[in-house]
Structure 1
Amino acid sequence: MKYYFTNLLCSPPQEDPIPSSRYSMAFDRKSTQQDAEGQDAEDPLRHLRDEFRIPTRADLKKKKISGSDSSEQAGEPAEPCTYLCGNSLGLQPKRASQYVSRYLETWATQGVFGHFKRMEDALTPPWLDLVNDEATKKQMGDIVGALPEEVAIMQTLTANIHLLMASFYRPTTDKYKIIIEGKALLSGHYAILSHHNIAPENTITITPPSGAHTLSTSHILSTIDEHASSTALILLPGIQFYTGQFFDIQKITAHAHSHGITCGWDLAHAVGNVPLQLHAWDVDFAAWCSYKYLNSGPGAIAGLFVHEKHGKVTSADAGGYLPRLSGWWGSDVGSRFKMENRFVPIPGAAGWQLSNPSAIDATTVLASLSVFGMTSMEELRRKSLKLTGYLEELLKQADGMGTLYDIITPRNSEERGAQLSVLLKPGLLETVMEILEEEGVVLDERKPDVIRVAPAPLYNTFCDVWRFNEVFQKAARTANDKRNPQEGNSLMVQGGQEKPGWGQVM
């Protein structure tokens, strides 16, 4: 199936596309480093970069955690690396070490009293209230567009999906199927298939049409229509991890509800990345991790959302709450330590908690939330659209677009977050990644041929994007010459005319 790269994209036009140029820097010439520096100088959020520890290029060469080593002696650059991998692991907030240090000192000097005693110079609530503090829940609620009582900081992403499915997947004889996205992260698939011993044939996987990389909203809605009579649950990603596509959560949720289907969302790549309104969109439930755009550290404690209509406790004595896998930390605070053998869930999402959370784990989340408190998701989104639009503009200007690589993320700015997925010509990935790493450019690869470039608005700059593009273009040409020494520049665009390339036939 042929795709001719009108607007230099390799997926079919989306519905009512909004041109990315609306948010990008428009140039009638090649962008320069001075252009990027000018944009950074005008960035109202530029001060937030100072809140993060950005590894230097010398750091990335180190073989020891502390002290000097051969990399410094070899004169490796001390300048910051170009870190565009926040979609895999966010950078460390500087205040995280301060928060953790206070936690360790509290533990050392207070012991068990750290659970209850509020220290005058503490940066967090006592451990007993660490994740259930109203201010903390409001901060997380503001990021996902939820009421404080609709969110809980707890467990890990996959564990939370399991817990939520135990409550929300209620199969009947007629309605028992689950609709999922075909290329979702495997942990979600594993979680789904393990419930009620779901047979693979009872999961409906939505995949793009042949030759396309992304899913149109109409395709998702038509799949729901086709299987509505037998579907009990829909679980989709808010942002598709591979392509970076941002799904229309509100429209899809409403359509599911019109068929009486429960709809939940895996927001691992959406939280802290794009503005969400989970309460207003009437989402039933959602789960997310906190180590990507929330910058809380590897494997840090995650979160979940349960809409207030599901979290109400009407009559505990009569079992008047949504069934769940329950634990003592989700039971009524007033009776929690009475050791009564009676589970009375806390109203709202907190009622899904199991055990007391790791205090050190939760502390890093609170440190990150305090940085988010310096701005808003709306402000971050505005910058993100400009950064990602600028990245797309640079990639489109370069000679290799359509011959050495193509963008598989939607061109509609409203249908993507802070990520562009770049599909390389087959055989280039290994060399490209080697060169990027050697030059201190950090990003994520997805074999066989995709790199995921994610300029996070909290700490990335237009200069980061500009430098990535400079290194990447050289790397792509070098990799192509290495693989096809006779080909040389024959694949490049010459004289302003696009030559037929590998990407035009998919």
Structure 2
Amino acid sequence: MKAITPDYSLEYAKQLDHADEIAHLREEFIVPEGIIYMDGNSLGLMSKRAERTMFELVESWKTQTIEGWTQGERPWFFLPEALSDKMRALVGAEPGEVSITGSTSTNIHQLVATFYQPEGKRTKIMATELDFPTDIYALQSQLRLKGYDPDTNLVRVASRNGRIIEEDDIIAAMTDEIALILLPTVLYRSGQLLDIKRLTAEAHARGIIIGFDGCHSVGSIPHYFSEWDVDFALWCNYKYLNGGPGSVASLYVNKKHFGRTPGLTGWYSSNKSKQFDMDHSLTVEHTAGAYQIGTPHIFSIAPLIGALEIFELTSIEAIRTKSLHITKYMIQLIEHELEGLGFSVANPLEDERRCGHVSLEHDEAIRICKALKQNHIIPDYRAPNVVRLAPVALYTTYEDVWKTVQILKSIIVEKQYEGFDAKRGVVA
């Protein structure tokens, strides 16, 4: 990848596109004509392969009826396990450690119900004050179910500046009262990437179970969950993995915990060979498959089959290389073109602390996002003042980035944003 130099021209952006080693992967996606899509950190674009496999699964129901569970090209009964094998390369997992199941929220409940086992003075759960709300809601719920007051037993590590969380502050909060830690791999507002390896080692040195919410990182950066000895993790598959709206989610459980009965069980927690015995004594599956609860949602899984095929055409390391390069390019353009226009870059600037989106703060963020959409650019707004822009490595071009920054400049200079109200939509 060509090094970034202080050249802010459109011609230079086109040169970067020409040098992009994974530029051909954009052809795998259905990019709406006339649109610059900068919201792939909320919902990835549909790929041609995802569309194909979605219709293939619809056809299998039509032609095979109930036999589709065990027959045909993609037997439904074994789909979660088949896809788990493809997924594990993206998170650095050993065989059996990944399960395609549930949603982000249900998987948090499942894993916390399993690994939060308060005993003695260890009764508290640790998170951060910048976590995505669903994580906090689930942790509060699990504390209540165990008879604890979330106001006193949920420790939320404070941010020093409202943007990032310092790893030193997280480690300092790892007291002997902490029974479980759940942290984001990446903070959803600022895009800060936490040091997963370091935090896992520090938690284990203190006898604390630790897990991670990887919704804003899986598919954008390499992970090495097994090598780092992470206890558990979970993530959605509709952002950087492009599995479609409401796509089935995923979870990871370290093999050292295999054989443990999950906190929430159902008939899909069973060993496959015993599942249809209809015995009231559960034979727990000896993999992360045990953390499934109910029947897999086949049509929710279907697009993910094709979506994951795209990741086999490259490597997660190549994706990360472009992601770092194109986000740095966007930040440099912003700093040059938007100076004095009220914008602040909220991302960490260091490569090792930055994930896949650029976080821009501005007092008029809501109205700016509305103006961007009128200019055929799809951004994302996050309260109270953040415009999130995601130049996704698989399908965003450097020319897209250049045009986005130029339009942002026009929106402010020409005061286009003043033509919109500051009322947030139901879905930000």
Q: Report the TM range for the smaller structure's normalisation.
A: over 0.9
Q: Deviations over 1:267-313 (max 9, x none)?
A: 111111111000001100011111111100111100000000001x3
Corresponding residue for residue 94 of structure 1 = 48
- Return closer, same or farther for 1:159/1:165 CA change in 2, 3 Å cut-off: same
Corresponding residue for residue 358 of structure 2 = 420
Corresponding residue for residue 38 of structure 2 = 84
Q: 2:388 aligns with which of 436, 452, 464?
A: 452
- Return closer, same or farther for 1:38/1:23 CA change in 2, 3 Å cut-off: closer
Instruction: Tell me the distance in 1 between the aligned counterparts of 2:98 and 2:242.
Output: 18
1:18-417 paired onto structure 2 within 5 Å: 25-27=4-6, 29=7, 31-56=8-33, 79=34, 81-118=35-72, 122=73, 125-133=74-82, 136-197=83-144, 198-199=148-149, 200-209=151-160, 211=161, 213-224=163-174, 228-311=175-258, 313=259, 321-398=260-337, 400-401=338-339, 403-417=341-355
Q: Deviations over 1:132-151 (max 9, x none)?
A: 12xx2221000111013000
Q: Deviations over 1:93-143 (max 9, x none)?
A: 11122112211111111101111112xxx4xx211111112xx22210001
C-alpha deviation, 1:216, in angstroms: 1.9
- Return closer, same or farther for 1:219/1:480 CA change in 2, 3 Å cut-off: farther
Instruction: Tell me the distance in 2 between the aligned counterparts of 1:24 and 1:416.
Output: 18
One-letter amino acid of the counterpart of residue 387, structure 1: I
C-alpha deviation, 1:403, in angstroms: 4.7
Count of residues paired in the alignment: 415
C-alpha deviation, 1:247, in angstroms: 0.2
Q: Deviations over 1:212-269 (max 9, x none)?
A: 5212222222222xxx111101111000001100000000011011110110101111
C-alpha deviation, 1:482, in angstroms: 5.1
Corresponding residue for residue 415 of structure 2 = 479
Q: CA RMSD in A?
A: 1.7
One-letter amino acid of the counterpart of residue 171, structure 2: L
Instruction: Tell me the distance in 2 between the aligned counterparts of 1:341 and 1:449.
Output: 53
One-letter amino acid of the counterpart of residue 479, structure 1: K
Indicate the percent of aligned positions where both proteins have the same amino acid: 32
DSSP-derived class of the 1:148 partner: coil
One-letter amino acid of the counterpart of residue 153, structure 2: N
C-alpha deviation, 1:480, in angstroms: 8.8
Q: Deviations over 1:53-90 (max 9, x none)?
A: 1112xxxxxxxxxxxxxxxxxxxxxx3x1101011100
Q: Which has the larger radius of gyration?
A: 1
C-alpha deviation, 1:479, in angstroms: 3.5
One-letter amino acid of the counterpart of residue 328, structure 1: W
Q: Is the 8 A contact 2:341 2:412 kept in 1?
A: no
Runs of 4+, deviation exceeding 6 Å: none
- Return closer, same or farther for 1:130/1:212 CA change in 2, 3 Å cut-off: closer
Mean Cα deviation higher: 253-262 or 445-454: 445-454
Corresponding residue for residue 497 of structure 1 = none
Q: Is the 8 A contact 1:432 1:479 kept in 2?
A: no
Instruction: Tell me the distance in 2 between the aligned counterparts of 1:193 and 1:472.
Output: 39
Q: Is the 8 A contact 1:87 1:454 kept in 2?
A: yes
Instruction: Tell me the distance in 1 between the aligned counterparts of 2:115 and 2:416.
Output: 50
Q: Is the 8 A contact 2:248 2:301 kept in 1?
A: yes
Q: Is the 8 A contact 1:25 1:393 kept in 2?
A: no
Q: Is the 8 A contact 1:175 1:231 kept in 2?
A: yes
Instruction: Tell me the distance in 1 between the aligned counterparts of 2:164 and 2:63.
Output: 54
One-letter amino acid of the counterpart of residue 384, structure 2: P
Q: Is the 8 A contact 1:51 1:94 kept in 2?
A: yes
C-alpha deviation, 1:208, in angstroms: 1.2
TM-score by length of 1: 0.79
C-alpha deviation, 1:324, in angstroms: 2.3
Corresponding residue for residue 492 of structure 1 = none
Instruction: Tell me the distance in 2 between the aligned counterparts of 1:177 and 1:26.
Output: 49
One-letter amino acid of the counterpart of residue 202, structure 1: N
Instruction: Tell me the distance in 2 between the aligned counterparts of 1:331 and 1:389.
Output: 47
Q: Is the 8 A contact 1:404 1:480 kept in 2?
A: no
- Return closer, same or farther for 1:171/1:306 CA change in 2, 3 Å cut-off: same
Unpaired stretches in structure 2, ≥5 consecutive residues: 420-428
DSSP-derived class of the 2:388 partner: strand
Instruction: Tell me the distance in 1 between the aligned counterparts of 2:177 and 2:390.
Output: 38
Instruction: Tell me the distance in 1 between the aligned counterparts of 2:61 and 2:351.
Output: 47
Q: Deviations over 1:184-235 (max 9, x none)?
A: 11111111011141322111111212x45212222222222xxx11110111
C-alpha deviation, 1:481, in angstroms: 9.2
